Amino acid sequence: METALPAAGFLYWVGASTVAYLALRISCWFFTALRVWGLGHEAGVGPWLGEWAGEKFKVETKTIAVDFTSEDIYDKIKASLAGLNIGVLVNNVGMSYEYPEYFLDVPDLDNTIKKLITVNALSVCKMTRLVLPGMVERSKGAILNISSASGMYPVPLLTIYSATKAFVDFFSQCLHEEYKSKGVIVQSVLPYYVATKLAKIKRPTWDKPSPETFVKSAMKTIGVQSRTNGYPIHSLVASVSASLPSWLYFKIAMYSGNSIRVRYLKKMKMN
């Protein structure tokens, strides 16, 4: 009986500490969500950054057609951008696997490795190299690098994609620290699923917003968060994922990826 009392006391404090920790995490998340999405604040991007920043809303537009799977496109882009004051750069080009797969079994593996690194990682560095000097010279500008929630934590069965998106995230964080004192915002955007044709999601849902809904939400984070999931529900999911022990996270990730893989391969055999 005497030995049971200290053990019960120990378990009590373990439970109380766990509850306190979870309560603190939840409180921090709600505070951050309120600050970012609930309270009104001045947008981090706008006409003051430059005339060349969008496709509509009565601003000037110039189209440069290139294939980002190629490495010899940047001289053409540089020449086309000559003389333009670029206020906002959105590095949104990207590609992933056709379906989750084990590394050695990825179809056309050598070509896939080259394409994903060239499109997802090289393009971000090269486009930033072209646009950043002008922003630094004018002491203003914003670079929004679209990473992925897959870049926050390793995602097995999407290994190359996850790794390249992690590169984008780290690159963005480093660049922001280097150039924020020079008036340039560099933001890493790490969304979960958005209802697009590329993601093969036809209809938006509460956790898979339309591109318009996601962009409207993400815009509120510019100048407030240098690293964001861009959407309240995505931010909540990221917080939950971060609280999981690594063994449980990887178990869930492998199960989810394998389930999608099996369904895809079964569908291909039926066709």
Enumerate domains of the chain plus CATH numbers. 45-270 (3.40.50.720)
Question: Can you give the pLDDT at residue 240?
Answer: 86
Phi and psi for 184 in degrees, rounded to 5?
Answer: -110, 125
- Measure the CA–CA gap between 21 and 17, rounded to whole angstroms: 6
Taking only the tens of pLDDT, the chain with its 271 residues reads 455 556 666 666 667 776 676 666 666 666 666 666 665 555 566 665 665 547 556 667 788 899 999 999 999 999 999 988 888 999 999 999 999 999 999 999 999 999 999 999 999 999 999 999 999 999 999 999 999 999 999 999 999 999 999 999 999 999 999 999 999 999 999 999 999 877 778 889 988 999 999 999 998 899 888 999 999 999 989 988 888 899 999 999 999 999 999 999 999 888 7
User: Would you name the residues annotated as active-site residues?
Assistant: 161
